[in-house]
Structure 1
Amino acid sequence: MSYLCPLCSAPLNQHQNSYRCDSNHQFDIAKEGYVNLLPVQHKRSKDPGDNKKMMQARRQFLDGGHYQPMRDAVSELLSQQLAITKHVDVLDIGCGEGYYTSHFQHTLPDASVHGLDISKVAIRYAAKRYRDVAFLVASSQRLPFADNQMDAVVRIYAPCNGEELQRVVKHDGIVVTVTPGPRHLYQLKAGIYDEVRLHDIPVEEIPGFELASEQSVAYNMTLNSADATTLLQMTPFAWRAPEALWQQLKNADAFHCEADFTLRVYAKRSQ
């Protein structure tokens, strides 16, 4: 696998346990197998992304299978959209601890699947657990891949520079996005807001792409107290949650909550 140097954009070549460009910028391969391509000057904080506690909680929740229907639906989309008669490269942006990324590799055994995240902690745990995926620490605003390198890019809740997607995705490639549907986590929101407004995230405009398909994946979850509390911690509105809701989740034997996801496939426009 070849990457681009995050400092000078030249190709990186592997030399034993490191990657090096012609300008002699060097990036070592960690013992877990990942490579860190996020230089300090590109960081907005000392340790960006999920910390160890957040990552461990997220892994525990995902290992419970609560988001498996969505994961399987994304994998099915990739299988349907990608030609199985040739080798393909797939990139999972914002891959976290690798739960989704590993399943994509399992679903597409002949593909090269890459997991990218800004969190070094998450990537370390991902690489240690899922040895068949190429993981790297890098910014989604400066993707360290060559032009027209990816057959598919997956973004589950993850932001990315649209122009970078246009650059790295092949001419016949796709981008798959997952965003919250109108009723996602309705019961959690009802414990926070006096009135829950059902908002759907509008269709994103990605430069050089057009919307090819859209589908909803919605189902009910039954969570124990630990998973319900973790789920609330994973949401962007956790800081608004009153103490009464935290106590309700902590004391709940079974908390019933809706999951609602919108999956969209964007096809790259013909040049």
Structure 2
Amino acid sequence: MNDVDPVLDDHLHLDPVNGRGVEAAEAFADHGGTHLLVLNKPSWHYDVQVSDADDFRVAYDHTLDVVADSNDVLPGKAWPVLGVHPALVSQLVERGFSPEAARDLMCTGLDVAAEYVSSGDALAVKSGRPHYDVDEAVWDASNDVMRHAFALGAREDCAVQLHTEGGEEFEQVARWAEHEGMAREHVVKHYSTGGVEGPTPSVLADKEELVRAIERDVPFMMETDFIDDPDRPGAVLGPKTVPRRTRWLREEGYDEALERAHVETPRLVYGIDTRGTLS
């Protein structure tokens, strides 16, 4: 693999407090990775029970710190993507919040994330809805939170990454984003299979699913969803995985698809230049 070719992991976590932090970014770079989108871990990973806007800043600021350190070791660049994990709604309800009050606090957390985007400190926002069964009131509240993220994405002209349930049909979600003023291409379905419809798929770096996405000839990106949890080493996939899959795909002759995944789609979705940011 040409050492100047961009290799982007579109979704992983780096925990500078409890995990490997920048060491994981170094492992990514040592195996050919160049660019990272780093998602903040949920607030409870830092022993914070959110109750107001400033509580969300703890996880956000840790992410900015580890991104700054990662930029010192990458041949390309890392960007923060900040927001509220959709499972927070369940934690808040268990703490005694109504679904509506939980919704409002989560929207406040997204408002804070959008401030970081507006100031240029973050690239995009993350939101979504639970990937597990919840009652109707919690589901409706979660969809309201997600639509609020889309409104912020439209206002800030930034992408929104989604953590949602499994499946491949998300046309309604894409239409909700369009209703709020976003282009559907700027909505990213994190932890995607190769066949996701509606948002832009960020495909978990499984060989079979990557080939599925390639054969559909649609915009897509690659990710590991590395969690950076010492109790779950390598979960979901380790930081070396995207460079390794990229190398395998290049050996299989998928050069055009790799240009799509690592250059064209990041430019389409986030407005970033992965070639121009290579040192």
Q: Which one has a bigger Cα radius of gyration?
A: 1
Flag the structure with higher helix content. 2
TM-score by length of 2: 0.28
Flag the structure with higher strand content. 1
TM-score by length of 1: 0.29
